[in-house]
Structure 1
Amino acid sequence: MAIIATAQVHSLETPWQGRISHGKHQYLTDKPESFGGQDSGPAPYDFLLASLISCTMITLRIYAQHKGVELGEFQVEADFFSNKEGQEWIERRLSFQNKLDAEWQQKILDICQKTPVTKTLLRSLEIRTSLM
């Protein structure tokens, strides 16, 4: 068993705000104003999507470098959806400045399904919670 990532959040006086830290990196989390927050930082599902799209970008760049292919600049974006029936899903979109042939388009789609964060989200994940 190995620890892959570690994070901490410390609640702040302002409702919904917290200071998140990962080693030397620190930033705020909050809720949007429409939910009573100050919108001073990303909300929890924003971080979930940021994790997915950043992992997608990094994985694609590693793969392309390994294959000796220049992907050029590209963008990954995602939206998280939920409906009244309790279904939840993410829609992820990629756009490339360089034109990709059909073979590479299919490889990109295949690789996206194999990124580490994608694989984690696609399977059931146990979350163990304890009081310290």
Structure 2
Amino acid sequence: MAVIAQAKVETLPEPWSGEISSGKHQLITDKPESFGGQDKGLAPYDLICSGLISCTMITLRMYAQHKGIELGAFRVEADFCANKEGEEWISRRVHFENQLGAELEQKVLDICSKTPVTKTLLRSLDIHTSLI
């Protein structure tokens, strides 16, 4: 077994707020005001989207560097969506400042479908919880 990521969260005095730490990095998590929080940080589903889009950006840049391709500046956005039937999905969008050719556009779409976080989200994942 290899641990590829680690994080912990500690409660803060305000309802729903917590301080997340991972390695030497810290950030605040909270719920929006509409859910009783103070909206001081990313909500849990925001963090899922953030993990996906950061992995997408890094993977595309690594691919471009490896292949000697200039992608130029771009951004990746994601929305976590749900409907009344209980279905959930993520809508991911990649916006490039430079126009890409049709072949490179298809390659970018293929790469996006194979990023590590995409693969993790698409397959079942066991979560083991223990009290310590």
Normalising by the residue count of structure 1, what TM-score does the alignment of the two structures yield?
A: 0.99
User: Which residue does the alignment assign to 2:87?
Assistant: 87
The offset of 1:84, in angstroms, is 1.0
Structure 1 residue 16 corresponds to structure 2 residue 27: no
The offset of 1:13, in angstroms, is 1.0
Amino acid corresponding to residue 19 of structure 1 in structure 2 = E
Runs of 4+ with >4 A deviation = none
- State the SS of the aligned residue for 2:128: coil
- State the SS of the aligned residue for 1:50: helix
Amino acid corresponding to residue 13 of structure 1 in structure 2 = P
Amino acid corresponding to residue 83 of structure 1 in structure 2 = N
Amino acid corresponding to residue 114 of structure 1 in structure 2 = K
The offset of 1:72, in angstroms, is 0.6
Structure 1 residue 65 corresponds to structure 2 residue 37: no
User: Which residue does the alignment assign to 2:77?
Assistant: 77
User: Which residue does the alignment assign to 2:97?
Assistant: 97
- State the SS of the aligned residue for 1:76: strand
Count of residue pairs brought into register by the alignment: 132
Q: Distance in 2 between matches of 1:99 and 1:81?
A: 28
Amino acid corresponding to residue 65 of structure 2 in structure 1 = Q
Q: Distance in 1 between matches of 2:45 and 2:107?
A: 28
User: Which residue does the alignment assign to 1:116?
Assistant: 116
- State the SS of the aligned residue for 2:70: coil
- State the SS of the aligned residue for 1:91: strand
User: Which residue does the alignment assign to 1:130?
Assistant: 130
The offset of 1:121, in angstroms, is 0.2
Q: Note the aligned Cα RMSD (angstroms).
A: 0.4
- State the SS of the aligned residue for 1:57: helix
The percent identity for this pair of structures is 70
